[in-house]
Amino acid sequence: MKKIIYLLSITITVMSCEKITTPRDYIVFSGKIENHADNKINLHITGLGPIILKEDGRFVDTIKIKNTGHYMFVDAKKNRMELYLENGNDINMTYDASDFKNTITFSGEGSAANNYLLKKEQLKTALDKSVQTDSISSIYQLDQATFKAKQIELKKSIMKVLASTEGLSEVFKTQEKRNINYEYLLDLTLLEDLHIMIKTPNFEESKDLHYELEGLSYTNDADFLFSESYKELIKFHYRKKAQKIVESEGISDEVAYLKELATLNNTFIKDSLLFENAIMYMDYFEDLDGYYSAFKTTSTNEKHIAKVTEKYNILKRVAAGSPSPKFVDYENYAGGTNSLDDFKGKYVYIDVWATWCGPCIYQMPFLDKVEKKYHGKNIQFVTISVDERKNYEKWRAFIDKEKLDGIQLLADNALESDFIKGYSIAGIPRFILIDPHGNIVNNNAPRPSDEKLIELFDELGI
């Protein structure tokens, strides 16, 4: 009996000494970045602020995500990569910011998927370089037959890399195989749409593409969460359908898109696409009331409706005829400060931009021509940069180098400035036209490159 009790006591002691572990419900993300340009990096995850770097470039942070999937990583030098993250991962990332593509490596739990994504991106880059002509690299320059052959070749190469990469879970492999096919289908779709858009002579829509898209399901939750290409295929499908009812029903493109999304037989995907579209593009819709009404009728997600309603109310406050939000004492590149009230008595055409915004910079030569055309007229052109204070010298250097005319101002708190938030500006460039009394003519005025801007000025007698 004593022996039995003794043996039991040993068993209990051994069991009590064993380390009991529970799976982490968060990600440990660490690493080191050489030659970094700033003390922070960003992962595009809702609610996550910047990840702070130490002086030597080391960092460590814990992150909890709602859904396993792909998240964009970006640093101050605009190096970027889509990472695959899952709660429980312990990922270490290192690279030289001056040579990102050739030095980035991953190690630790969860690194296999990201090392695979690196190899996959390298294959895509190699394909694009292989068709480079006259310093222009674009696979979309190819004719349909050659393009499709190249894409099939790429698809096979990626599948081989996927099969040979060790450490990948079977779940990831299964989903990624489907994703590779979606990427292939999306590329074919984009090529055809590009040729239709630019009206390529003698272009014929591909019967093969339509055949490959036949039977594609648009209601797969798992694929929607995993594959951005699958999501884009869904959006493309319903936008195509919407085009058919724009003229027949006399409604706007966006309202037609919502009406078609309403027919999608998957509540989660439908509501997600409705919300994404509203948050990203609602600022630009001409038929704001019609769009908002269609959104409320179509969406079933109360949290989404509440957030979109909040955005709608802000946009209504800056509708045509309403007093404009004001900026006060913004620094002028030429010296001193300016406030919106300084320009009362004239129309004011405002360009909201930043030195890091490519589409903003593209508009500048067009803006210069418009400014010269209306020099001496009853209109003032004001350019407001939303560059952060740390990029102050970069802002001044850019204006000096490009010899920008007009009134060049710097917002007092970048995109968080009261004036910017007053207009609910989520994307730039953004153009605003205000009348001589300080009231809004158009909170999303035509761009300088758009002929409609001159038509608008003519209508107003400027």
Q: What is the mean pLDDT of residues 164-191?
A: 93
Confidence of residue 199 (pLDDT cuts 50, 70, 90): low
Tell me what pLDDT residue 17 has. 46
Number of H helices, E strands in the chain: 16, 15
9, pLDDT greater than 70: no
Average pLDDT over the chain, rounded to an integer: 88
- 334 and 455 co-located in one domain: yes
105-114, 185-194, 431-440: the lowest-pLDDT one = 185-194
CATH of the domain at 30: 2.60.40
360, pLDDT greater than 80: yes
Instruction: Give the domain-ending residue among 168, 194, 216.
Output: 216
Phi/psi zone of residue 206: left (φ > 0), alpha (ψ -120 to 50 degrees), beta?
beta
**Radius of gyration from C-alpha coordinates of the chain:** 27
- 26 and 118 co-located in one domain: no
Q: Of residues 284 and 371, which shows the higher confidence score?
A: 371
Tell me what pLDDT residue 213 has. 78
Q: Does residue 325 sit within a domain?
A: no
Phi/psi zone of residue 432: left (φ > 0), alpha (ψ -120 to 50 degrees), beta?
beta
Q: How many CB atoms lie within 10 A of CB 329?
A: 12
- 271 and 360 co-located in one domain: no
Q: What is the mean pLDDT of residues 173-177?
A: 96
State the DSSP code for 391: G
- 55 and 154 co-located in one domain: no
129, pLDDT greater than 60: yes
Tell me what pLDDT residue 209 has. 61
- 256 and 192 co-located in one domain: no
Q: CA dihedral in degrees (358, 359, 361, 367; nearest 10)?
A: 180
- 167 and 82 co-located in one domain: no
Q: Of residues 44 and 410, which shows the higher confidence score?
A: 410
Q: Does residue 322 sit within a domain?
A: no
Confidence of residue 226 (pLDDT cuts 50, 70, 90): very high
Look up the pTM and report it.
Answer: 0.78
Q: How many CB atoms lie within 10 A of CB 25?
A: 9
Tell me what pLDDT residue 1 has. 47
- 104 and 117 co-located in one domain: no
177-191, 273-287, 303-317, 365-379: the lowest-pLDDT one = 273-287
- Helix 170-197 with 144-164: angle, nearest 10 deg: 170
SS3 131: coil
56, pLDDT greater than 60: yes
Decide if 378 contacts 346 (C-beta within 8 A).
Answer: yes
19-23, 189-193, 355-359: the lowest-pLDDT one = 19-23
Most confident segment among 10-24, 180-194, 233-247? 233-247
Tell me what pLDDT residue 108 has. 95
- 253 and 179 co-located in one domain: no
- 291 and 366 co-located in one domain: no
Domain residues for the domain of 94 are: 1-109
CA angle 172, 74, 127 (to 5 degrees): 65
Q: CA dihedral in degrees (237, 240, 246, 247; nearest 10)?
A: -150
pLDDT digits (tens, 9 = 90+) for 131-171: 765 544 466 777 778 888 889 999 999 999 999 999 999 99
CA angle 453, 388, 397 (to 5 degrees): 75
Q: What is the mean pLDDT of residues 380-391?
A: 93
Tell me what pLDDT residue 346 has. 96
Long-range contacts: 362-369, Cβ < 8 Å, 24+? 362/449, 363/429, 363/447, 363/448, 363/449, 364/402, 364/404, 366/447, 366/448, 366/449, 367/406, 367/448, 368/404, 368/405, 369/448
Confidence of residue 47 (pLDDT cuts 50, 70, 90): confident
Q: What is the mean pLDDT of residues 212-228?
A: 91
CA–CA gap between residue 364 and residue 377 (Å, rounded): 20
